[in-house]
Structures are given as structure tokens and as C-alpha cells.
């Protein structure tokens, strides 16, 4: 059971699952928990059980329940008939991750990351984030009663700090090069015994597997043609791919979808490398995107996303700010209000249909990563109006 190991995604060097440093000691690329080769869905799980109980064969290292679930996962797969008809697709679905406890997919990885920290005996956790992940780790740190440290940018606005600070972590606004914080926090964490649950650590990838597991169940094991993932650090993309592969290994599905990594044109290190045919990403430099949740200029899992795209015939593309704005509003008009990053897959669908890559009568699943209320600035991108009416005139106006 627990002879599972971490395997380097690049050089295959293995380390023990009780090792807490999340990157390869030889090449510094991300580690994966070894792929699960067989397993089945725990049909005896109760509706109140967390996802790792339903999918326990795929989480064999989680042998103890620390009672820290906040009800993450099991989000709806919403069918958008209007869009299906408009585009002549067989089916269009949104995996609505905005319905997680802190309103983003990050909760899946946070809960697994915190359980793993508890399993390894940590009493302190932390993360480096400016948004969804910071709030998520702070919430699970509170639930687990762990000392929690959140490292944010020096110039972070108060309205973005408050939804993190409310959970009671220590929030540190760090002066200096924010891009260096990822590595530095992992090193300090190792010295000071703080489990840093950063964007693409292996246990966060493990949490994201459950998105794929649920999609498979929700589609009654009929694999969609495309799964479109807004991609920043790369951890969620890796997790979704790993989930589909493990279900295929286990014989629960017969084929894999085509995995699509979509980035904002103004913050596209992975898509740029993919389009140029390069094996490694380069630092993107200054970013310009209306979807800051996918704005990482130097994603720590960028090279591994490129390897996965190559191995499984996936593809990467960019969409621009105007395309994101249009998709953001359109998705809201179907009743799904996401942060701009969550609408990026819809912008990608239009682009890929125009290019003849996604064809009529195919099935598409879009991952809506986080809630619209996370980014209220985005209201300003649209011409949202209301008008006044007196009580006396109401009957005429209606």
C-alpha cells in the first residue's frame, strides 16, 4: 500500500512519499505521486463522505481522516444546451468549480495538502499566493487548527487581503521579487518545518485528480472529446490529466480526452513554448491580462505541462483580453458567474472551432476555476446597467 513513491516528472528519480520537499533533488522539476494502476470507485461511500473516500483506491496513502473537510469537490457538471445548439456541438459542459468551500478548485488540493502535512507531523503550513489559493489554504489551516502563514505581494490591495485575513492566518506582504518566493518559501519551509502547499506541489496535483474522476462519473464514463483547462502554475492541469490516466489505467474509461491548456495572451509562457515547439518554458516577463488568476509568468510546472501535452497529444493556445471579456459575460448569461480566468475555456472553444480543431458534434468540458465574486474589478469590463422607476409607474414599466 504505502510503497508508493514520488517520481520525478522529468528524470524519473524516486523519493519516499514521506519526503516533504516537493521537487526533484536531482533536476528540481516537479514530483508526481506514482500513477495508480488499478482501483475502483467506492460505491459504498456516503453522500457526506469527502471525495478521497469515494475514490480511496486512488488515494491509498490517505489512511487517516483528520476531519478537516469543508465539503470540497463533487461540484456540478452543468450542461449548456443553448451553447450546444449555437455551435452544433454534441454537448457542452461547465465543471463548475466556483461551488467549492472557498469558491475555487484550489480547495481540492488544499485539503489533500493539509492532510498530508498532518500525516507528516507538521504543525505549521503556508502558501505563496495572491488570491484563490491563499484564501483556500487559510480556510483549511483554520479548520485544522494549524498555524498558517500566507505570503502575498507587497502591493496587494486591501479588498484582496481581507478575504484571506478573515480566516485568521498570519499574512505577510513580502517586499522584493515575488517570482523568487516560490523556491525560497520551499527552502525556508524545509529548514523551519513549515509545509508550504504551493501551487503545483504533488499533493495539490493529487487533489485536482478528483476533478477528472467526477467528470468521468458525471458523464457515465463516456470520455468527452476535449477538456479545456485555464492554466497558470500548471498544477491543476497536471492533476486533471493524471486523474483521467489513472481511471484509464483502472479500466474505468476506455480512452483519454484531448487535453487543452489555455492561457491569456498577455501571460502565456506555456502556450508560447508549445507554439514554438520548445521543450522548456521561458520566463514570460511583464504580464498584461484581465485574468490575474492565470497570470503566472514563470509557472513551476510549465515544463511538465509541455511534456504532458506532447505525450498525450494535447494542445495549448492563447486567447486575448477582448475574447476573455466576451466569454466572461456570455457565461454569466448562461447563469455561471466566474472570475475572468474561469471563462477562458469558452473563449478557447470559439477560437478552436474557428480553426477547425474542435468540430461539430464533439463534446467539450470547460473547467470554470473560480467564482466571479473573487474579482469584482471585472464588473467594470462590461456595460452593466439598471434604471429607476417610481412605485406609481411600475405597472406601466413592467
Which residues of the chain form contacts with Zn ion (CB under 5 A)? 8, 10-11, 13, 24, 26-27
Contacts of residue 13, defined as CB under 8 A and 6 or more positions apart, other chains included, come to 7, 24, 25, 26, 27
CB of 106 to Zn ion, least distance (A): 26
CB of 311 to Zn ion, least distance (A): 16
CB of 278 to Zn ion, least distance (A): 19
Nearest Cα to Cα of residue 352 among 364, 370, 342, 343: 364
Q: Measured from the CB atom, is 10 or 124 closer to Zn ion?
A: 10
C-alpha separations of 78 from 65, 113, 220, 331 in Å: 30, 28, 14, 11
CB of 11 to Zn ion, least distance (A): 3
C-alpha separations of 210 from 51, 109, 115, 322, 356 in Å: 7, 9, 15, 32, 30
CB of 9 to Zn ion, least distance (A): 7
CB of 123 to Zn ion, least distance (A): 30
Rounded-to-integer distance, Cα 263 and Cα 185, Å = 26
CB of 357 to Zn ion, least distance (A): 33
Q: Measured from the CB atom, is 5 or 13 closer to Zn ion?
A: 13
C-alpha separations of 112 from 118, 230, 232, 257, 308 in Å: 10, 21, 20, 25, 23
Q: Measured from the CB atom, is 13 or 119 closer to Zn ion?
A: 13
- Determine how β-strand 124-128 pairs with β-strand 195-196: parallel
Q: Measured from the CB atom, is 24 or 368 closer to Zn ion?
A: 24
The answer to whether the beta carbons of residues 42 and 26 sit under 8 Å apart is: no
Nearest Cα to Cα of residue 321 among 340, 345, 304, 293: 340
Take residue 345 and report the three cell numbers written for it. Answer: 475555456
Q: Measured from the CB atom, is 8 or 331 closer to Zn ion?
A: 8
The answer to whether the beta carbons of residues 275 and 316 sit under 8 Å apart is: yes
Q: Measured from the CB atom, is 14 or 287 closer to Zn ion?
A: 14
Q: Measured from the CB atom, is 11 or 389 closer to Zn ion?
A: 11
CB of 300 to Zn ion, least distance (A): 14
- Determine how β-strand 77-79 pairs with β-strand 91-96: antiparallel
Amino acid at each position: 500500500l504505502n510503497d508508493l513513491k514520488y517520481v520525478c516528472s522529468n528524470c524519473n528519480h524516486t523519493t519516499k512519499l514521506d519526503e516533504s520537499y516537493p521537487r526533484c533533488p536531482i533536476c528540481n522539476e516537479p514530483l508526481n505521486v506514482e500513477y495508480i494502476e488499478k482501483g475502483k470507485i467506492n460505491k459504498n461511500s456516503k453522500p457526506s463522505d469527502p471525495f478521497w473516500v469515494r475514490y480511496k483506491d486512488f488515494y491509498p496513502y490517505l489512511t487517516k481522516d483528520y476531519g478537516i473537510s469543508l465539503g470540497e469537490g463533487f461540484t456540478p457538471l452543468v450542461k449548456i444546451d443553448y451553447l450546444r445548439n449555437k455551435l452544433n456541438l454534441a454537448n457542452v459542459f461547465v465543471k463548475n468549480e466556483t461551488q467549492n468551500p472557498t469558491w475555487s478548485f484550489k480547495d481540492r488540493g488544499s485539503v489533500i495538502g493539509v492532510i498530508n502535512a498532518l500525516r507528516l507531523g507538521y504543525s505549521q503550513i503556508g502558501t505563496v499566493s495572491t488570491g484563490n489559493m491563499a484564501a483556500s489554504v487559510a480556510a483549511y489551516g483554520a479548520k485544522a487548527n494549524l498555524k498558517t502563514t500566507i505570503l502575498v505581494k507587497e502591493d496587494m490591495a486591501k479588498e484582496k487581503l481581507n478575504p484571506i485575513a478573515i480566516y485568521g492566518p498570519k499574512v505577510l506582504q513580502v517586499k522584493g521579487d515575488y517570482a523568487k518566493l516560490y523556491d525560497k518559501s520551499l527552502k525556508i519551509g524545509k529548514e523551519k518545518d513549515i509545509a508550504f502547499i504551493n501551487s503545483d506541489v504533488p499533493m495539490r496535483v493529487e487533489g485536482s485528480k478528483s476533478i477528472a474522476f467526477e467528470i468521468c462519473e458525471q458523464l457515465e464514463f463516456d470520455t468527452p472529446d476535449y477538456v479545456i483547462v485555464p492554466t497558470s502554475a500548471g498544477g491543476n492541469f497536471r492533476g486533471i490529466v493524471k486523474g483521467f490516466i489513472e481511471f484509464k489505467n483502472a479500466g474505468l474509461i476506455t480512452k483519454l480526452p484531448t487535453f487543452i491548456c489555455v492561457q491569456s495572451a498577455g501571460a502565456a509562457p506555456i502556450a508560447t513554448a508549445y507554439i514554438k515547439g520548445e521543450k522548456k518554458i521561458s520566463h514570460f516577463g511583464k504580464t498584461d491580462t484581465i485574468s490575474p488568476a492565470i497570470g503566472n509568468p514563470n509557472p513551476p510546472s510549465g515544463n511538465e505541462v509541455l511534456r504532458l501535452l506532447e505525450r498525450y497529444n494535447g494542445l495549448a493556445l492563447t486567447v486575448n483580453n477582448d475574447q476573455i471579456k466576451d466569454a466572461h459575460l456570455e457565461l454569466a448569461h448562461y447563469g455561471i458567474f466566474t472570475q475572468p480566468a474561469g471563462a477562458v475555456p469558452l473563449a478557447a472553444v470559439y477560437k478552436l472551432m474557428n480553426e477547425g480543431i474542435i468540430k461539430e458534434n464533439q463534446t467539450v468540458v470547460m473547467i470554470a476555476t473560480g467564482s466571479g465574486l473573487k474579482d469584482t474589478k471585472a464588473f467594470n469590463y462590461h456595460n452593466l446597467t439598471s434604471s429607476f422607476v417610481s412605485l406609481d409607474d411600475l405597472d406601466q414599466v413592467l
